[in-house]
Chains A and B, each alone.
Chain A
Amino acid sequence: MNHSPILPILVPFIASIVLLMMSACKLSWQRGVGALAVTLLLAVSVNLLLLADQPAPLVYALGDWQAPFGIVLVADRLAALVVLTMALLSAAVLLYASAGFDGKGRHFHAVFQLQLVGINGAFLTGDVFNLFVFFEVMLLASYILLAHGSGLNKSRAGFAYVTLNLAGSAVFLVALGLIYGTLGTLNLADIAMQLKTVSATEASLVRLSGALLMAVFLLKAAVLPLSFWLPHAYSAAGAPVAALFAIMTKVGIVAILHVQMIAFSAAPVMHGLLDSWLIVAALATIVFAAIGLLSAKSLQSLVAWLILGSAGLLLIVPSLNNELVTAAGLYYLVQSAVVGAAFFMMADLISNARGHIGDAFIITEWASDNKLKLGYFILAATAAGLPPFSGFVGKLMLLFAVKESVMMPAIWTIILIVSLITTIALAKAGSRLFWETPNDLASAPRPASFQHSIFQYSATFGLIAVSLLLVIFAQPLSDFTLRAAEQLHAPEQYIEAVIPHHADIQRGVRP
Chain B
Amino acid sequence: MIESVLLPLTLFIAVSGVALPLMVERYGRKAAAIAAGAVMALCLASLAPLFSSAISGQTVIAHFDWLPSFGLNLSFRLDGLSMLFSILILGIGILVVLYAHYYLPEDDKLGRFYALLLLFMSAMLGVVLSENLLMMVVFWEVTSLSSFLLIAYKSASHESRIAARMALVVTGAGGLAFLAGVLLLGNVAGSYELTDVIAAATQIKADPLYPTILTLVLLGAFTKSAQFPFHFWLPNAMVAPTPVSAYLHSATMVKAGVFLLARFYPVLSGTDAWLFSVSAIGGITLVYGAYLAMYRNDFKGLLAYSTISHLGLITLLFGLSTPMSVVAAVFHIINHAIFKASLFMAAGIIDHECGSRDMRRVNGLFKLMPITATLAMLAAGSMAGVPLLNGFLSKEMFFTESIVFQGFGNSHWILPIFATIAGVLAVAYSVRFIHDVFFNGEPVDLPRQPHEPPRWMRVPVEVLVVLCLLVGIFPAWSVGALLASAAGATLQSTLPVYDLKIWHGFNLAFLMSLIALAGGVGLYMMRSTLMRWNDQLPTISSRTFFERAYQNLAAYAENILLIMDNGSLQRYMAVFFLFVFIYGAWAFISGGSMVNAVSSLPLDVASGIAFFALALGALGAVFMHHRRLLSIILIGIVGLVVALIFVRFSAPDLALTQLSVEVVTTVLMLLALHYLPQYTPKESSKTRVVRDVLLALGIGLGMAFVSFELLTSSFSTISDFYLQQSVPGGGGSNVVNVILVDFRGFDTLGEITVLAMAALGTHALLNQLRLMQPMPDSAGRLWAEDAHPLFLKMLMRPLLPLALAVAVYIFLRGHNLPGGGFVAGLVTGVALILQSLAGGFAFAEDRLPKSYPPILGLGLAMAAGVGLISWFFVRPFLTSAHGHIEIPLVGDIELASVIIFDLGVYLVVVATVLLILTELGRLNMKGARV
Contact = CB atoms under 8 A, between A and B. Distances in A.
Whether the complex brings A and B within 8 Å at their CB atoms is answered yes
B573 A164 contact: yes
Interface in A142-156: 143-144, 147-148, 150
A133 interface: yes
Interface string B562-585: 001101010111011101100110
A392 B179 CA distance: 11
Contact of B714 (A200, A427, A510): A510
Nearest to B729: A65
Chain A contact patch, size range: 35 or more
Contacts of B751: 133
A471 to B, nearest CB: 10
Contact of A174 (B138, B588, B703): B703
Interface in A1-30: 1, 3, 6, 10, 13-14, 16-24
Contacts of A107: 760-761, 763-764, 853
Contacts of A178: 706, 710
Contacts of A300: none
A200 B593 contact: yes
Interface in A357-391: 377, 381, 386-388
B572 A229 contact: yes
B665 interface: no
Interface stretch (A207-215, A242-250, A310-318): A207-215
A36 interface: no
B880 A63 contact: yes
Contact of A427 (B71, B168, B584, B725): B168
A164 B715 contact: no
B750 A134 contact: yes
A174 B706 CA distance: 10
B637 interface: no
Contacts of B920: none
Nearest to A68: B718
Given A387-B138, A412-B180, A204 B715 contact: no
Q: Chain A CB within 10 Å — which of B173, B590, B757 has the most?
A: B757
A508 interface: yes
Interface in B273-292: none
Contacts of B558: 294-295
Contact of B183 (A185, A400, A434): A400
Contacts of A419: 176
Interface in A116-139: 117, 121, 129-130, 133-134, 136-137
A183 B716 CA distance: 7
A140 B577 contact: no
Given A69-B721, A110-B760, A435-B155, A63 B747 contact: no
A207 B161 contact: no
A288 B564 contact: yes
B579 A392 contact: no
Contact of A510 (B573, B580, B715, B875): B715
Contacts of A164: 569, 572-573, 576
A224 to B, nearest CB: 9
B864 A10 contact: yes
B923 interface: no
Interface in B115-151: 134, 137-139, 141-142, 144-145, 148-149
B212 to A, nearest CB: 9
Nearest to B591: A204
Given A106-B760, A327-B69, A205 B753 contact: no
A182 interface: yes
A204 B597 CA distance: 14
Interface stretch (B34-42, B250-258, B610-618, B855-863): B855-863
A424 B550 contact: yes
Interface residues of B, number: 120
Contacts of B152: 435
A215 B569 contact: no
A511 B600 CA distance: 10
A507 interface: yes
A65 B739 CA distance: 11
B588 A205 contact: yes
B579 A412 contact: no
A236 to B, nearest CB: 12
A130 B564 CA distance: 35
A340 interface: no
A337 to B, nearest CB: 20
Interface stretch (A41-49, A251-259, A474-482): A474-482
B444 interface: no
Contact of A205 (B571, B710, B742, B750): B710
Contact of A181 (B176, B710, B870): B710
B750 A137 contact: yes
Nearest to A435: B155
B147 to A, nearest CB: 13
Interface string A195-234: 0000011111111101110110001000001101101100
A20 B22 CA distance: 49
Contacts of B594: 204
B865 to A, nearest CB: 9
A386 B754 contact: no
Interface in B147-199: 148-149, 152, 155-156, 158, 161, 164-165, 168-169, 172-173, 176-177, 179-180, 183, 187
A423 interface: yes
Q: Chain B CB within 10 Å — which of A63, A295, A420 has the most?
A: A63
Q: Chain A CB within 10 Å — which of B70, B744, B858 has the most?
A: B70
B66 A475 contact: yes
Nearest to A291: B557
A386 B172 contact: yes
A105 interface: yes
A437 B156 CA distance: 8
B583 A215 contact: yes
Given A174-B703, A201-B713, A204-B709, A18 B180 contact: no
A65 B179 CA distance: 53
Nearest to A273: B587
A204 B592 contact: yes
A160 interface: yes
B779 interface: no
Contacts of B853: 20-21, 23, 107, 110
B531 interface: no
B588 A435 contact: no
B879 interface: yes
A392 B138 contact: yes
B721 A208 contact: no
Given A17-B861, A71-B744, A403-B183, 13 more contacts: A1-B871, A1-B875, A10-B868, A23-B853, A64-B875, A137-B754, A160-B569, A203-B593, A207-B590, A294-B557, A396-B70, A474-B66, A478-B67
Q: Please list the 7 inter-chain residue pairs (A to B) with the smallest Cβ-Cβ separation, ordered nearest first.
A: A20-B857, A184-B717, A204-B591, A211-B587, A294-B557, A133-B750, A295-B558
Interface of A: 1, 3, 6, 10, 13-14, 16-24, 60-65, 68-71, 105-107, 110-111, 114, 117, 121, 129-130, 133-134, 136-137, 140-141, 143-144, 147-148, 150, 159-160, 163-164, 167-168, 171, 174, 177-178, 180-185, 190, 200-208, 210-212, 214-215, 219, 225-226, 228-229, 231-232, 269, 272-273, 288, 290-295, 324, 327-328, 377, 381, 386-388, 392-393, 396-397, 399-401, 403, 412, 416-417, 419-420, 423-424, 427-428, 431, 434-437, 474-475, 478, 482, 505-511
Interface of B: 65-67, 69-72, 134, 137-139, 141-142, 144-145, 148-149, 152, 155-156, 158, 161, 164-165, 168-169, 172-173, 176-177, 179-180, 183, 187, 550, 553-554, 557-558, 560-561, 564-565, 567, 569, 571-573, 575-577, 579-580, 583-584, 586-595, 600, 703, 706, 709-710, 713-722, 725, 742-747, 750-751, 753-754, 756-758, 760-761, 763-765, 767-768, 851, 853-854, 856-858, 860-861, 864, 868, 870-871, 874-880
15 contacts: A10-B864, A20-B854, A63-B745, A64-B875, A148-B764, A182-B713, A203-B591, A212-B583, A291-B560, A292-B561, A294-B557, A388-B142, A400-B183, A474-B67, A510-B716
